[in-house]
Amino acid sequence: MTSPTQSLQHTEAQDRFFRLHVDSYDVRLDLASDEATFGSVTTLRFTSQGGPTFVDLKPLRVHSITLNGRPVDAELLDRGRLPLETEAGANELVVDAVMRFRNDGEGLHRSVDPADGRHYVYGMSFMDAAPSIFACFDQPDLKAPYTFHVRAPEDWVVIGNSPATNPEPGVWELATTQPLSTYFVTLVAGPYHLVRDEHDGIPLGLSSRASIARDLDKDADEILTMTRQCFDEFHRLFGIRYPFGDYHQAFVPEFNAGAMENPGCVTFRDPLIFSSRVTRGARVLRATTIAHEMAHQWFGNIVTPKWWDDLWLNESFAEYLGNRVTADVTEYGDTWTHQAYDRRLWGLTADQRPTTHPVASNGAFDAVAALQDFDGISYAKGSTILKQLNARLGDEVFFAGVIDHFTAHRFGNATMADLFGSWEKAGAPDLSDFTSSWLRTAGPDTVVLDRDAGLLRRTPPAEHPADRTHVLRVATAVDGTWRTTAVTLDGPETPFDAGGSAVVVDPYEDSWGIFPPDQATVDALKELLPSVTDDALLAAIWNSVRSGFHNALLSPVDVVDLLEVRLPIEDTELTKRHTLPWVLSAVLPIAPEGSLERVHRAALTRLDSSPEGSELQLAAFRTAIGTSTDPARLESWLTGELPLGLERDLELRWRVLVRLATLGATDASALDAALAEEPTAISRVEHTRARVSLPTAEAKEFAWARFTGEVDVPNYELVAAGEGMWRGGQEHLTAPYVARYFDELPATVRVRSGWVLADAAEAFFPLPALDDDTLARARALTELPGLDLSMRRRVLDQADELARRLAVRAAYPVA
């Protein structure tokens, strides 16, 4: 019963949908009897046309199974599936099983808070995980109402998809839900700290671990204010009220995603409750995450995609409307600029990978394959295309179609064709050309300026030809002033006379494509960049620079030159938060010697000139820490006086410790002592990152034991171990692990699964081993028969990144 499970095929889901109608789930969970396992009794009532089918179930062991009162042999359970011979008409399946608490962020995850030893549980049922909590027909289009009954330790609180009562100590009864897909079902249980409120008749709640209760209380007003503002705006836009009763936002430990939109009980990763000082960018990210999940209550929860190939109906819409609503009605009116830095290159990079896929109808033949497509294409690219579509249709037609879609398929499932039918019903023109070129065809066009010919050249990717029309703006610098011109690119060549001006194509994200700068623009920007005051334009410039470098059209020296002139006068922390990490990880390893020191000096200049207590000062200080090669100065920042306006909080202490460890200027015992001094969840993760960053053989063995599963650690610690393993200058220690990665990665499927399996494959990939042999090994691994699909996807993507960095180095060799 613990053997690897099978992933649901689309054809199997179609057959089961044709055969079954699920009437209800009644689930009894006993969370109080054991810290390693929990009891799960599922009563599943369904109507069948009769004949064979199967139920999804991933237990540790089974006590009993009955179908229509007759016993079913539990030995028939094979790789997560129990075959059933159903009767025509009503059927009742009862499964009494013992399930395992998990520590990988999926199923029913149980976490121990190192700050106080308290235990916390939350459910993540997404994508193949629900059967490890209860027996179910695990596919999005077999919706049903759920009723949960929970026994828990008496000092715990239990929250779920519907309001809960606590009739006696340790007993919790949850009301029957609206019809839900299995992947939305959640339960949050433990000694959580609660904040309650109400808005417009909707009970609101927040929760967090007790050890960060003070931090939640400090942020509660901001979070609840945003929630109220977003509800009012979504109600205005849709004309349909939130229909799932309470709206609880639970900040839970060791959560894999940013958040999950479970109706009635949204779960968020709890680092979004800030225990150290953060910049505005972090608050914008939290704000857009909150709004994104609220948008899902309509796009995804009221109407759910019938199958995973339409997941964009969830994510692209939530991304677009979450950003739009945050920008329109909250204090974060600059949201779109933040998203330009935070998300656009995430999507563009994914869209250039060999694993690219269309936004819509992406060909997800099974659930595991679909999981790999929750990427920057489904979020950022899809959001940009919806923004284009909204501009084309106008709000009146756009939202009339959306409302019709929600009304026609309320609490049910739908497809892309259903939504576009609603738009056409609302007055939209024939959108077949738009859907074919933008939604059903993968890959971005590349638009480059041919200055001598006076042309903008538009080239689709050779593997995914399309004839897309781009309606966008072009910014040109004339005598130090930026002017914007509207341009329509409706053919391979469009006249555009740039003269001798610097040119930025699509500075305001009107379209989707690769818009690298030409060399004349790059050269001009070394003079112009310090004077750019338009934050959206600045974001577009950095995105064009990143695109140029990614495609080996711009040298590492140029990137460092640009950063060096902008960083000392940077008037937003966004460059430091997004551009700088990319420079440190991708550019500096192949830049000329001395480049790191140049960036560090620029950061110190900005630090010295930043107003005391400002976000700029904090961002500059973080940059200075990350680029420092001076252990004495780092030690002074750890134990001595800081510049006025800065506070040595937990985040900054560990940032310094990780940098000291990377330089070999501390040791394992000092890091262990720092963890013991303040044993929080953040400290535990950063301690792992610092330990594996040490330039010692023991440190690399420490990391590798976590990769192989010899040492079992929660998901955040596992990823931190991978991220800290491959430090520059430590190649003499990490070289033996390059071959070991490719040899040993396939076997990790025995010790982990799902989301964290793929995350570990990416985090431990030896990307800094920049040579052709590493690339050849990576490509050979992707051809290995039977390699887990999620592993293959991450290795393919990392191999593509490695190939691109090798291409940059070949195009711009260091003297």
What does the DSSP 8-state code read for residue 708?
H
Q: Do 268 and 252 form a contact (C-beta atoms < 8 A)?
A: yes
Backbone angles phi, psi at 34, to 5 degrees: -155, 140
Query: Residue 35, Cβ neighbours under 10 Å: how many?
Result: 11
Q: Which amino acid is at 667?
A: D
Question: Which of helix, strand or coil describes residue 82?
Answer: strand
Q: Using CB atoms within 10 A of its CB, is residue 161 exposed (0-12), middle (13-18) or buried (19+)?
A: buried
Helices and strands (H and E) in the chain: how many: 29, 25
Neighbours of 452 (CB within 10 A): 6
Please count the residues of the chain: 815
Give the whole-angstrom CA distance, residue 466 versus residue 242. 39
Q: Facing residues of 250 across strands?
A: 207, 267
DSSP code of residue 436 = I
CA dist 495 and 473 (Å) reads: 14
At 263, list the tokens. 């109706």
> What value, to the nearest 5°, has the Cα angle with vertex 489 and ends 484 and 492?
135
3-state SS, residue 521: helix
- Residue 81 has a CB neighbour count (10 Å cut-off) of 20
Burial of 20 (0-12, 13-18, 19+ CB in 10 A): buried
d(CA 66, CA 84): 10
Residue 8 CB contacts under 8 Å (≥ 6 apart), including other chains: 56, 128, 138, 139, 366, 367
Closest by CA position to 314, among listed 261, 351, 363: 261
The SS3 call for residue 4 is: coil
Q: For residues 733 and 696, what is the distance between their CA atoms, to the nearest angstrom?
A: 7
φ and ψ at 485, to 5 degrees? -125, 135
Would you say 358 and 304 are in contact if contact means Cβ atoms under 8 Å apart?
Answer: no
**Which residues, listed in sequence order, are joined to residue 171 by a DSSP beta bridge?**
151, 168
d(CA 531, CA 538): 10
DSSP 149: E
Return the amino acid letter for 413.
Answer: N
**Gyration radius of the chain's alpha carbons:** 27
What percent of the residues of the chain are helix, what percent strand, and what percent coil, each to the nearest 5?
A: 45, 20, 30
Residue 296, exposed/middle/buried by CB under 10 A (0-12, 13-18, 19+)? buried
From its phi and psi, is residue 80 left (phi > 0), alpha (psi between -120 and 50) or beta? left
Helix (H) or strand (E) holding 563: helix 556-566
Per the CB < 8 A criterion, the answer to whether 606 and 567 are in contact is yes
Decide if 284 contacts 318 (C-beta within 8 A).
no
Spot the catalytic one: 233, 261, 293, 723. 293
The tokens describing 372, both together, are 């790999």
202 phi and psi angles, rounded to 5 deg: -105, 115
Q: For this structure, is 686 an active site residue? A: no
Task: Quickly count: other Cβ atoms within 10 Å of residue 71's Cβ.
Answer: 9
Token output for 358: 């269309």
Kindly list the catalytic residues: 293
